[in-house]
Amino acid sequence: MAMPIYMDYNATTPVDPRVVEAMRPAFEEHFGNPASRTHPYGWAAARLVEKARASLASLLGGNPDEFIFTAGATEANNLAIKGVVWGRTGKTCHVITCATEHKAVLDPCRRLARDGEVELTILPVDRCGRIDPQQVHKALRPDTALVSLMLANNETGTLHPLPEVAQICRQRGVLLHTDATQAVGKIPVNVHELGVDLLSLSAHKFYGPKGIGALWRRRGVPLVPLLDGGGHEQGLRSGTLAVPLIVGLQRALELCCSDLECEGSRLAALRDELRRLLLNSIPGVEENGDPQHRLPNTLNLTFRDVEGNALLASLPALAISSGSACTSADPAPSHVLLAMGRTSREAQASLRFSLGRPTTAAEVEKAAELVRAALARLHRR
């Protein structure tokens, strides 16, 4: 059977062959443990890691020693949220986040709340999935330790007004963490321009390998580690560094950043074409997300007149998702779309198309044709 057309690049991306090539020496000749200080095998591996750290700093801002390598964004988010909360010495502690965050932010926050370690405020969004910075302002309390707000939403592509929120947080001396997993590699990201204190990212979202990510932490932000052990990464993330994956993350980010604008416009044009082909020609289709503040590659549509499961099941030739891949084992409707005011039925009858580097105009046309045919079949039933 021919493989379906892949339009699920927000779930994950293939590793770029140039990234695989860059990783190879770190698997083979430079296999040493960067923590081995007594011989050249260790020194060579340590040099590769430090080169990667310096590259991240030059591409995303910040200092090289502010990047902590993790197993991905789930770990980076957990480290940022639990690390800040556990680093607080005060008695009570308040955390603010948002209803459309990824589970890798919502669940650690909820666990801390359940365990009585924090009081949690989950802010709502508007119909486009955006937060109003004034709501953050109103929710701040004297004991607020952290605001965690994603940069780009994985289901709709909506971008939050992070710099405005950062300004509010800074005025009140509150730390701001952003889960930038879906933004890094797709749009320009700079920790200073955003004004955040902590930022999470993951390589497999931008043509790097799975199992590697990073948390950028502004120097001086108190953080308690999740793992105890050999004291790697300045004691903040013990465990032998995954040198080949770190090199892969570096190379993948360099490649994305070298072509960010061009590729962004190409994807936005393809996304707009897909939108035109589906939205304009089929009745009962509505778009989810912010028309202006959004990622270039993501299109989320609600098909009002059909039943969600039937719709996805009728599109075996398309690899797309309804909601995010991380929760697709869970048949519940998307919490993101519900928070944006969609009913359960509408949320279930929604599809996320996320385009990527290999996506072509022919694929977009074919995808639109497949959706149109599937809808026609479903309507005839």
Residues that are catalytic: 326
What amino acid is encoded at 347 in this protein?
A
Spatial distance between the Cα atoms of 164 and 166, rounded to a whole number of angstroms: 5
Quote the DSSP letter at residue 130.
P
Q: Which of 158, 321, 324, 354 binds ligand PMP (CB under 6 A)?
A: 324
- Under rule CB under 6 A, which residues in 53-72 are in contact with ligand PMP? 72
Q: Is 202 in the site for ligand PMP (CB under 6 A)?
A: yes
Residue 129 makes contact with ligand PMP by CB under 6 A: no
Q: How many CB atoms lie within 10 A of CB 314?
A: 18
Shortest spacing between CB 303 and ligand PMP, in angstroms: 23
Give the binding range for ligand PMP (CB under 6 A) out of 134-142, 174-182, 258-266, 310-318: 174-182
Name the residue whose CB lies closest to ligand PMP.
72
Looking only at the bridges linking them, the beta strands covering 213-217 and 67-70 are: antiparallel
* Rounded distance between C-alpha atoms, residue 257 and residue 255, angstroms: 6
Q: Which residues contact 200 (CB under 8 A, 6 or more apart)?
A: 73, 76, 77, 80, 177, 178, 179, 180, 181, 213, 214, 215, 216
Under the binding rule (CB under 6 A), the answer on residue 298 touching ligand PMP is no
Residue appearing with tokens 């789930």 = 74
User: Any contact of residue 326 with ligand PMP (CB under 6 A)?
Assistant: yes
Of 13, 55, 74, 297, the one binding ligand PMP (CB under 6 A) is 74
Shortest approach of ligand PMP to residue 201 CB, angstroms?
A: 8
Q: CA 53 to CA 85: how far, in whole Å?
A: 26
CB 205 within 8 A of CB 182: yes
At closest approach, how far in Å is the CB of 62 from ligand PMP?
19
Q: Please identify, using beta-carbon distances, which residue of 73 and 140 lies nearer to ligand PMP.
A: 73
Binding to ligand PMP by CB under 6 A, coded x per residue (else -) over 140-159, reads ----------x---x-----
Positions in the binding site for ligand PMP (CB under 6 A): 72-74, 102, 104, 150, 154, 179, 181-182, 202, 213, 324, 326
